[in-house]
Amino acid sequence: MDNSRSGALLPKPSGRAGKTRWWIVWTLFFSTVTNYISRQSFSVLSPMITAQYHLTHTDLAKIIGSFQISYAITWLIGGIVLDAVGSRVGLAAAAIWWSVMNILTGLASSVFGFAFFRFMLGIGEGFNWPGASKVVAEWFPREERSLAVAIFDSGSSVGGALAALTIPLIALAFGWRWAFAASGLLGFVWLAVWLRVYHPLDSHPRVGAEEVALIKAGRDAEPVTSNHGLARWRRLAKNRNLWGIVLGRALTDPIWWFYVFWLPQYLSDARGFSLKRIALFAWIPFVAADLGNFTGGWLSGYCIRRGVSVVRARTWICLVSCLPILAGIPAARVHNVYFALALICVALWGYASWSTMGLTLPSDLFPQEVVGSVTGLSGLAAGMVSAGFTLLVGILVDRFSYRPAFVAAGLLPVLATIFLFLLIRPPAQVEAALE
């Protein structure tokens, strides 16, 4: 590891460094769990809501797309806000917002009403990933970051699985409106834990000197840019790593949204699943995705400990992860529903491994003060492309079938990985090219 940085002047930490940073990242994991339970509530309940209000797949796409658009915008704005106000306040306010909006979704009774409350939900939920990425950059040395990202990002899979398991049961017992209320209340439980566990590194009441030394000694080199305002963005716009991250995420996130938002409806439409049967089976692909988070995070960390450069470890894991993602292509064609679910599980396992690398790269390649902004910009691009893909899926299903969407979801990550290899370079090489 290159220690030619200001952090290397700190005393070398012993093996007795504390574990405060791990308490923090597991708190972020639960933030992501509650985040995903809230956003998945509508998708899991869509067969019931569709039947009650006679919605078309295009109507569903508009409702889902409204969430994705606001979510994407907030990834960018949220990153900038979090860089300005800090993670503690920013993530606390976001959790309150998305929890309230999810509860209010239970009041909707039309396409416009559902779309409005899902749009408002996305405003709050867009803070979670830029905020978590920023916290990881602040609290973890680079060799631990991929595992830390895998932990908090795996909350999406766990949250999706829990939503698929529990939301239908609540809806069947009490009605779908109460299911939105129950899932929304979880955010307030998380809020109390977050305010107790998280404080900035330099003012945390329970972090020890050994752990501070470990974290600061393992930070990356100082900024590719330390400018502010428009000058910062002009400098970033010339950075090829920014565009590698943006294009990579923009071409992979639509796959996740496709499976997350459309899987329950697909199981209902194409496979004849009832809401109770969806609860029995729709959670399984999310468990596979959870394994993918940790597979990618652990393998890249292992490679780095063995001497592989950070950038090479991340990009090669992305390349290998493309292979299982391709398993999703035949999923819509096989007749056996359980074999189709198995193929979807393999595809989501590969996607989650790829995604962990994509979420780790901003903190690998950029200084802490712009990590939230870079992550936010990539989220904006990913969300906008995902919203367009979601609308396309709705139109395709109404006019043809789910098959073209499964093919696109399998092939897009290959293109994303090509852009990573063409554009991503170690920060020192990029800096030299800009001078």
In this predicted model, what pLDDT tens digit does every residue of 116-146 receive, in sequence order?
Answer: 999 999 999 988 888 888 888 888 887 787 7
Name, in order, each residue with C-beta under 8 angstroms of 371's C-beta and a sequence gap of 6 or more: 83, 133, 134, 137, 362, 363
Mean pLDDT within 107-122: 94
By residue range, what is the domain housing residue 108?
Answer: 17-220+231-434
Quickly tell me which residue has 């450069």 as its tokens: 309
pLDDT-based confidence at 193, cuts 50/70/90? very high
75 and 379 in contact (C-beta within 8 Å)? Answer: yes
pLDDT value of residue 106: 92
Domain assignment of residue 3, yes or no = no
Task: Check which CATH number belongs to the domain holding 133 and give it.
Answer: 1.20.1250.20
Domain assignment of residue 381, yes or no = yes
Domain assignment of residue 5, yes or no = no
Domain assignment of residue 11, yes or no = no
pLDDT value of residue 295: 87
Q: Rank 2-11, 46-55, 143-152, 360-369 by mean pLDDT and report only the highest.
A: 46-55
Q: Which of 29-38, 222-231, 352-361 has the lowest mean pLDDT?
A: 222-231
Domain assignment of residue 7, yes or no = no
Q: How many domains does the chain have?
A: 1
Q: Could you report the per-residue pLDDT of 16-25, keeping only the tens digit for each?
A: 557 888 888 8
Domain assignment of residue 382, yes or no = yes
Whether residue 179 has pLDDT greater than 80: yes
How far, in Å, are 35, 126, 257, 384, 412 from residue 387 at the CA level?
A: 19, 14, 9, 5, 15
Name, in order, each residue with C-beta under 8 angstroms of 337's C-beta and a sequence gap of 6 or more: 267, 271
Domain assignment of residue 284, yes or no = yes
How far, in Å, are 189, 313, 355 from residue 193 at the CA level?
A: 7, 34, 27
